């Protein structure tokens, strides 16, 4: 099986917080967010809704993409989200 690495943007129910992360298992990571299994920013701000993701073949490419997204403005992040998910649906339900 080919390894995949994901960069994702998640939010809370009312889309006021945007969190950008990287993982090698997006289904597991969203489960962790939804169940607050990892203490910190995402559990404090109820980040549990997957709005955007990209798939990369190597961790290096995924981390580079994550850094680029994090360095961008909120407007740029919203633009990325709307390019894939204009209704801001929770994409984790489709994983």
Backbone dihedral angles phi then psi of residue 5, each to the nearest 5 degrees: -130, 140
pLDDT of residue 6: 98
Q: Residue 1: pLDDT above 80? A: no
Span 10-33, average pLDDT:
97
Whether the full predicted model's pTM is greater than 0.75, yes or no, is yes
pLDDT of residue 76: 98
* H-helix segments, the chain: 26-34, 41-44, 59-71, 74-84
**Structural domains present in the chain:** 5-94 (3.40.1440.10)
If phi over 0 gives left and psi between -120 and 50 gives alpha, with beta otherwise, what is residue 12?
A: beta
95 has a pLDDT exceeding 90: no
Q: 44-92 pLDDT, tens per residue?
A: 999 999 999 999 999 999 999 999 999 999 999 999 999 999 999 999 9
């Amino acid at each position: 099986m080919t390894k995949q690495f994901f960069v994702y943007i998640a939010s809370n129910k009312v889309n006021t917080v945007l969190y950008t992360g990287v993982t090698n298992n997006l289904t597991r990571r969203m489960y962790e967010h939804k169940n607050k299994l990892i203490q910190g920013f995402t559990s404090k701000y109820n980040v549990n809704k997957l709005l955007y993701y990209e798939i990369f073949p190597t961790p290096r490419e995924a981390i580079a993409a994550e850094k680029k997204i994090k360095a961008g403005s909120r407007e740029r992040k919203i633009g990325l989200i709307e390019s894939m998910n204009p209704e801001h649906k929770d994409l984790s339900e489709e994983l």
